[in-house]
Amino acid sequence: MASAWLVVLLWLTASIVGLEASTCYLPRTCWSTAVVWDSPYTHQCPENDLCLCSKTTLNCSSNHGKLDYVPRVPGHFKMLNFSNNDLGHISNMHFFTNVSRSVIAVDLYQNNLSYIVEGVFDDLPNLSWLSLGGNPLLVKDVFNMSIISTLSTLDVGCMGFQSIPGEAVKHLKNSTVAYLNLEWNCIESFDMSVLSPMRQLEYLSLWKNDLYSLTAASLPQLRVLNMVGNRLFDFPDTCNSTGGSFFPKLVNATLAFNSISRIGDTICLPKLQHLELSYNPFKYISRNSFSVHKFPSLQTVLLGQLNIKVKKIERFAFNNSRLRNIDLALNQINFSSSVVDGQAFNGCTGLTSLLLRGNDFSSVAENRFAVLFRSLTNLEHLNIGSSKMAVIYPRAFGRFRHLKWLHLFENDFTYIPDGAFDSLRNLMFLHLDSSRISRITKSTFSVETLKRLKTLDLSSSPFQCNCDILWFQQCVRSNPHIFSSKWRPYVCVNVPGVALLDFELNEQVRGFGYIHDTCTKNS
């Protein structure tokens, strides 16, 4: 009986291990990093029906086993795309002999490569960009190639790497690699010290790994860190033992789609400007989470669509005069409740863009609105679309003297107070589409406001087409560049199948006699 239980226990253990191992998977198709200077393929190469040519690129990709050598094609190409050719291995030292020596980028993505002979890249003296992703090469075989230390860009994404051992890269002491792509691998635990030989590393991407443990180490030149789509529970350590920064030049940190729930008390990122934390479970955004003392250079913080119900945004949560952009979109936060402290945005005097669409403004009273946004006098872009806003208060937006873009689309208000937007002398783009507005009059917008606006979108509103709409109809007809909407129409809700611009009072009143009666009484 004991042996039977042992068998069951071993089976359960194996099942659990199997489930854990299966959490990381590779996509069926992997894509290499785009070359920014690559031009579109414009024609078939001369005397070769397996390759396409442009001024800069020789594209011999996607032949799927029909091409196992690089053909000789006239031209001074910079890029060789030899991906998706099912090579299996490259054992010929002179595989690239036929390629122009001016080539600086080679793409070998998804060739089922398990072996590349050492020295094969010697025929490409100017090579600086190499893409090996989507191949079953071993970590040690990739980083042991002598060419690696002379590259500026190395793409080894989508290769199933489970770790990067220190001994695999320790010989790269004089490495010139500035861009390292480790996306779509299966790395669960990563010690950044293994990359310390790459003293010129500026860009590191571990996007879509299975990373849950990160040990920070000094990367003095790192400017961009991409760790989207992992299992990190903690904001990365940024301070070394002496209080200095592991990443003194880091400008952009992208950490969306993780399990990070708070920002630590001590942050050492003196140059960080852009911080992406969307799709993380921030239940509480506490006081000074993004303060100028923690982030002295921070300009943008993205907290959109947090995958948990936000319980509290405390007073002075952001408190950073350097901040220019805050994104809290699609969080269903009730801004009329105590969830959002009235002083949550205090200290953000330099803020120019605030994205709040997809939240709840249904019960936000006029004085509450004023308190929430009283310090944001430099806003240029405000988005409160799709937020159940039921009322536009006459003076609600008057404080935003610098506002250029205002998005109030897909809300529940039925009426625009006369002159509500006339004091916004810099407003150029006003989006009120898909609301419940049924009537626009001559006094809704001043002549000066209509002249100033470049876009006034009122499409998909339930307009009541009667004599009262004729002025607005003429206004839309006279200013098509302001009212144009490519995707949503202007229609008469009370005259089925009739567009606003097609409505004609005398001819289209058959069956709608009340329209004629109303206009006669008012005339």
Tokens describing residue 79: 């890029």
| Cα(356)–Cα(334) distance, integer angstroms | 11
Across 260-293, b (16+ Cβ under 10 Å) vs e yields bebbeeebbbebbbbbbbbbbebeebebbbbbbe
Tokens matching residue 426? 């810099």
Flag whether pLDDT at 4 surpasses 50: no
- 463 confidence band (pLDDT: 50, 70, 90): very high
> Among 26-40, 96-110, 241-255, 351-365, which is the least confidently predicted range?
26-40
What is the C-alpha to C-alpha distance for residues 271 and 268, in angstroms, rounded to an integer?
A: 9
Query: How confident is the model at residue 30, as a pLDDT?
Result: 76
**Residue ranges of domains in the chain, CATH in brackets:** 389-523 (3.80.10.10)
Q: Between 361 and 480, where is the model more confident?
A: 361
pLDDT digits (tens, 9 = 90+) for 283-332: 999 999 999 999 999 999 999 999 999 999 999 999 999 999 999 999 99
Cα distance between residue 277 and residue 97, in whole Å: 47
- And the tokens for 134? 């989507």
385 pLDDT higher than 50: yes
Is residue 222 within 8 Å of 201, Cβ to Cβ? Answer: yes
pLDDT tens-digit series, residues 50-59:
999 998 999 9
Residue 160 has pLDDT above 70, yes or no: yes
Token output for 169: 């890269």
- The DSSP element (H or E) to which 349 belongs, if any, is none
Length of the chain: 523
And the tokens for 229?
């789509």
Residue 130, helix vs strand vs coil: strand
Query: What does the pLDDT look like over 469-493, one tens digit per residue?
Result: 999 999 999 999 899 777 788 999 9
Per-residue pLDDT, 39: 63
Question: In the predicted model, is pLDDT for residue 133 greater than 70?
Answer: yes
Q: Are 287 and 315 in contact (CB under 8 A)?
A: yes
Paired strand residues for 143: none
Task: Please tell me the pTM assigned to this model.
Answer: 0.89
Tokens representing 398 are: 């008057």
